């Protein structure tokens, strides 16, 4: 297991309070150091190759992020002196993680800031500037000739940027679990991709209160079967921790142990389908304790020390909403054997 991280990621910051803040990464870093999982696992990235970035974003968008200056790009997304430079480094981290995992067949945890999944070809939004995971998917295709890449997005928000970038593309499967009715308002169940990409967008909108039980059902009955049928050469995970019940920005109710369990099921799928090629890339997640606990649990498991994982945030309030899962299966069952 490798950890992709740069101290530079801490230098993108808003002068006032903003939930997408450097302390998020500090909390994860200290939690991992606390269980002696740090130095020997570190892989320090460089800035993204602009050839990779331009496969995802227009020249106009890249220029706008480069030249914006200090201020608000939209009501959620600030820009400071170093944002452009550090956003390039975040996308570079995503690419470094994906290529390392591809070549070495070992998992990577990419502790990236700023996040990326709300950035589309021509737009920023939701604390995101460049779509790190989309750039990584394109780099795998360009540099390693990977035919099929799967992205599973467990952030509580719909990854509208990733969704839009691959909407017509059957070579990149996009599966997203997200809370319906919150930012950015996209990702309805019925949006399944367009043209050649029809069926390769799998939106799984959920409701306030859905958590451990419903996610387990989704994983076993929808996500894993679709991944097996798609048979990706690499699996990338948009790992947002904001579906955690402690998160202040949303109201899904995943617990820490359930998060880790779900992420390890994706690892097992990658072991079966793509020789263990899985990269987890940080997106959102704003409760510092939840971030620490889930990443520590995941890292312990990925380094063979799973029995040491301990969780404070393990309440389980959702036994599983079979009716909702049935409805989601009906829609995506038009395209997949689920």
Of 50-58, 155-163, 300-308, 323-331, which segment contacts Zn ion by CB under 5 A?
Answer: 155-163
Integer Cα distance of 331 and 269 in angstroms = 23
Binding string, 202-241, against Zn ion, x = CB under 5 A? --------------------------------------x-
Of 38-46, 53-61, 72-80, 276-284, which segment contacts Zn ion by CB under 5 A?
Answer: 276-284
Cβ proximity to Zn ion: between 242 and 321 the closer is 242
Q: Is 242 in the site for Zn ion (CB under 5 A)?
A: yes
Residue in this structure with the two tokens 């072991």, named with its chain if needed: 271
Q: Could you give the residue numbers annotated as active site?
A: 118
Cβ proximity to Zn ion: between 37 and 128 the closer is 128
Q: Which two tokens stand for residue 324?
A: 């909702």
Q: Are 298 and 241 in contact (CB under 8 A)?
A: no
Residues 277-336 that bind Zn ion (CB under 5 A): 284
CB neighbours of 50 closer than 8 A, spacing ≥ 6? 62
Instruction: Report, in Å, the least distance between residue 249 CB and Zn ion.
Output: 7
Cβ proximity to Zn ion: between 38 and 180 the closer is 180
Q: Which two tokens stand for residue 52?
A: 């990779």
Q: Is 291 helix (H, G, I), strand (E, B) or coil?
A: helix
Q: Is 157 in the site for Zn ion (CB under 5 A)?
A: yes
Of 7-15, 151-159, 220-228, 271-279, which segment contacts Zn ion by CB under 5 A?
Answer: 151-159
Instruction: Report, in Å, the least distance between residue 126 CB and Zn ion.
Output: 7
Distances (CA, A) of 17 to 12, 65, 76: 13, 21, 12
Alpha helices in the chain (DSSP H): 23-34, 50-56, 59-67, 83-104, 132-144, 160-165, 212-218, 224-230, 256-274, 288-302, 322-332
Q: Is 153 in the site for Zn ion (CB under 5 A)?
A: no
* Among 20, 153, 155, 321, interactor with Zn ion by CB under 5 A: 155
Cβ proximity to Zn ion: between 92 and 240 the closer is 240
Cβ proximity to Zn ion: between 45 and 161 the closer is 161
CB neighbours of 154 closer than 8 A, spacing ≥ 6? 177, 237, 238, 239, 240, 243, 262, 263
| List of residues contacting Zn ion (CB under 5 A) | 155, 157, 240, 242, 284
């Amino acid at each position: 297991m490798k950890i992709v991280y740069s101290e530079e990621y801490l230098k993108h910051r808003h002068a006032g309070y903003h939930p997408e803040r450097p302390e998020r990464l500090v909390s994860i870093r200290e939690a991992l150091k606390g269980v002696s999982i740090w130095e020997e696992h570190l892989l320090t990235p460089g800035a993204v190759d602009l050839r990779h970035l331009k496969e995802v974003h227009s020249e106009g968008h890249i220029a706008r992020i480069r030249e914006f200056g200090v201020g608000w790009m939209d009501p959620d997304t600030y820009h400071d002196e170093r944002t452009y430079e550090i956003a390039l480094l975040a996308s570079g981290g995503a690419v470094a993680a994906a290529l390392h995992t591809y070549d070495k067949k070992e998992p990577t945890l990419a502790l990236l800031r700023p996040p990326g999944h709300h950035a589309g070809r021509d737009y920023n939004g939701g604390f995101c500037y460049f779509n790190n995971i989309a750039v990584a998917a394109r780099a795998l295709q360009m540099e390693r000739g990977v035919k099929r890449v799967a992205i599973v997005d467990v952030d509580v928000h719909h990854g509208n940027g990733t969704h839009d970038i691959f909407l017509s593309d059957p070579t990149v499967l996009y599966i997203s679990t997200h809370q319906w009715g919150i930012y950015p308002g996209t990702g309805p169940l019925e949006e399944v991709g367009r043209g050649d990409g029809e069926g390769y967008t799998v939106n799984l909108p959920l409701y306030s209160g859905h958590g451990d039980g419903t996610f387990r059902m989704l994983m076993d009955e929808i996500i894993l079967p679709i991944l097996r049928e798609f048979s990706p050469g690499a699996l990338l995970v948009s790992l947002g921790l904001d579906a955690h019940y402690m998160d202040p920005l949303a109201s899904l109710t995943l617990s820490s142990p359930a998060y880790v369990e779900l992420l390890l099921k994706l690892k097992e799928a990658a072991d079966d389908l793509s020789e263990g090629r899985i990269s987890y890339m940080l997106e959102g997640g704003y409760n510092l304790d939840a971030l620490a606990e889930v990443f520590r649990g995941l890292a312990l498991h990925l380094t063979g020390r799973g029995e040491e994982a301990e969780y404070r945030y393990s309440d389980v309030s959702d036994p599983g909403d079979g009716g909702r899962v049935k409805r989601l299966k009906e829609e995506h069952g038009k395209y997949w054997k689920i």
